[in-house]
Structure 1
Amino acid sequence: MPFVVGLTGGIASGKTTVADLFHQNFAIDIVDADIIARQVVEPNTEGLDAIVGKFGADILQDDGCLNRRKLREKVFSSPQDKQWLNDTLHPLIRSEMAHQVELAQSDYVLLVIPLMVEGGLQSMTDCVLVIDVDEETQITRTMQRDNVSREQALNIVNSQANRQERLAIADEIIKNNGHTDSLLPQIEALHARFVALRKNRQQGTL
């Protein structure tokens, strides 16, 4: 069983940047919940078949792929439909995350779950790494990256778990309020720690 480091953080915290640096510098395998969430609703999947069964074929684009805009509109206007969608897709996403984790070959595997706190998914990890930024930095980055208003950015930040809730589940923390150059020294130190933790676990099971 691979040693699993769960990586999480709020919007615009730098999760992708951090995960990419672990991969580029230390060849660490990455399992990304957001990517899997798209995979489980691709054509000819159980997830997409269930959505079509629920909402009809007009939820599809002409090429047979899910029309995400239409789906968002449907679940936005109906809490019941949103709950149904979550109940249908979350088990599929979780199962696929576990499957991909099992296939990992690196010293440890990074399991990137943006909504880890909200979903209580820290149970899938051996260690939780939180990318921590202050709220004002999140808002500014979101406005610049997504070309949205301050109000829209603030609404997104407020819709997620707050900073204190994420830090409460953290075993390790990366501070990312500054420039990307400040990340690599933190990542190098954490890589050594994660390798040591994995070795300790292996020795403990011998």
Structure 2
Amino acid sequence: MSDRPSRVIGLTGGIATGKSTVAKYIADTHKIPILDADIYARDAVEIGSPILVKIVERYGKSILLTDGNLDRKQLGEIIFQDSSMRQWIEELIHPYVRDRFVTESAKLNQPTGVFVIPLLFEAKMTDLVTETWVVYCTKEQQLQRLIQRNSLTLREAESRISAQMPLEEKCQLADVILDNSGTPAALEAQILQALNRSIALH
């Protein structure tokens, strides 16, 4: 018998729109378990993993740090400049991430869970959740936050944003839109309202 939650919120948005902020608030304040695609994606390329072996076969050992771990910064520069390379990497990692969500969600034993999946729509993982939430902010805020967080140039930040599905398109697909262009209090009020509302299962 599975203990998978009956309500699974798929939390997504654009890069640097505030997904982690929302997830942390839900976990800390409402004690709802969070499963994070980024953590599973890191696990997928840990030392000795079959996926890391394939990446090294393609790019050579220069793609590794001196300790043998994947040089994620270097790989990021490659895949954000070449959509075919990004697609190749995603086709390796997404099945692993999907399997981890299925496995780990069965252990939660909670009525509600949150899956943080940046590529929820792009990776076609909406079947794993019962509702979709998109975290939104303005393009200017997104650029500013990304530049500050990742120490990027304006051009680098713009290339990372443009590599993703447009945020407006994600909003059109969402059951809930959380506007993170205002104050933390305003965002928290929206989260509470969204948690309290009931959405028919799709």
| Equivalence for 2:25 | 21
Bigger radius of gyration:
1
Segment drifting more, 70-79 vs 178-187: 70-79
| Equivalence for 1:161 | 165
The whole-number CA distance in structure 1 between the counterparts of 2:104 and 2:196 is 23
Provide structure 1 residue ranges, at least 5 long, that are not aligned to the other structure: 202-206
Q: Secondary structure at the match of 2:110?
A: coil
| Equivalence for 2:191 | 187
CA distance 1:26–1:49, shift in 2 (3 Å): same
Provide structure 2 residue ranges, at least 5 long, that are not aligned to the other structure: none
Q: Could you tell me how far 1:121 is from its partner in structure 2?
A: 2.1
| Equivalence for 2:111 | 107
CA distance 1:127–1:73, shift in 2 (3 Å): closer
Match of 1:177 among 170, 174, 181: 181
Q: Secondary structure at the match of 1:136?
A: helix
The whole-number CA distance in structure 1 between the counterparts of 2:19 and 2:109 is 21
The whole-number CA distance in structure 2 between the counterparts of 1:159 and 1:54 is 22
1:90-112, Cα deviation, whole Å (9 max, x unpaired): 21121112212222233311111
| Equivalence for 1:43 | 47
TM-score normalized by the length of structure 1 = 0.81
How many residues are aligned here? 197
| Identical amino acids, percent of aligned pairs | 33
The whole-number CA distance in structure 2 between the counterparts of 1:151 and 1:118 is 23
CA distance 1:127–1:155, shift in 2 (3 Å): same
CA contact (8 A) 1:29 1:105 kept: no
TM-score normalized by the length of structure 2 = 0.83
Q: Secondary structure at the match of 1:191?
A: helix
Alpha-carbon RMSD across the aligned residues, in angstroms, is 2.5
Amino acid at match of 2:165: A
1:100-142, Cα deviation, whole Å (9 max, x unpaired): 2222233311111112222222222110011111212212222
The whole-number CA distance in structure 2 between the counterparts of 1:111 and 1:22 is 12
Q: Could you tell me how far 1:71 is from its partner in structure 2?
A: 3.9
Match of 1:87 among 85, 91, 107: 91
The whole-number CA distance in structure 1 between the counterparts of 2:143 and 2:85 is 30
Which structure has more helix as a fraction of its residues?
Answer: 1
Q: Could you tell me how far 1:18 is from its partner in structure 2?
A: 0.3
Amino acid at match of 2:184: T
The whole-number CA distance in structure 2 between the counterparts of 1:143 and 1:54 is 30
Amino acid at match of 1:34: D
